[in-house]
Amino acid sequence: MVKVYAISLVVGIIGLLVVIMGGAFAENVGHPERDPSELMGIRGKAAVGALVGFGMGGMSAEFSPLDFTWPVSLLLAVIAALLSVVWVRYAVTQAGS
């Protein structure tokens, strides 16, 4: 399962970098309509957050000194993904108001 968490984390971080760097590039060249965060919408941002949360939660649970079993690690990874989606939705609503 560690490989699944690692792949999820890498894909999520790449998505996060695309959003950040793509937004900066779109702003610098004067085309804010090409901003990846605007094109992705709330669902895309939540998906990136879920990937990062799942990967980080799973890796943290797998390498915990408490020696969790793999089902517990998977449950903690899913909880981390859900919490990160909640956080992304909260952050987007706060930035919009």
pLDDT tens for residues 41-65? Answer: 899 999 999 999 999 999 999 999 9
Question: CB neighbours (10 Å) of residue 45?
Answer: 20
Q: Which of 26, 29, 22 is nearest to 44 (CA)?
A: 22
Asked whether the beta carbons of 52 and 13 are under 8 A apart, the reply is yes
Q: Is-contact 9 55, C-beta < 8 A? A: yes
Q: What is the DSSP string of 9-71?
A: HHHHHHHHHHHHHHHHHHHHTT-GGG-HHHHHHHHHHHHHHHHHHHHHHHHHHHT-TT---HH
Domain chopping of the chain, boundaries: 2-96
Using one digit for the tens of pLDDT, what is the confidence trace for 82-95? 999 999 999 999 98
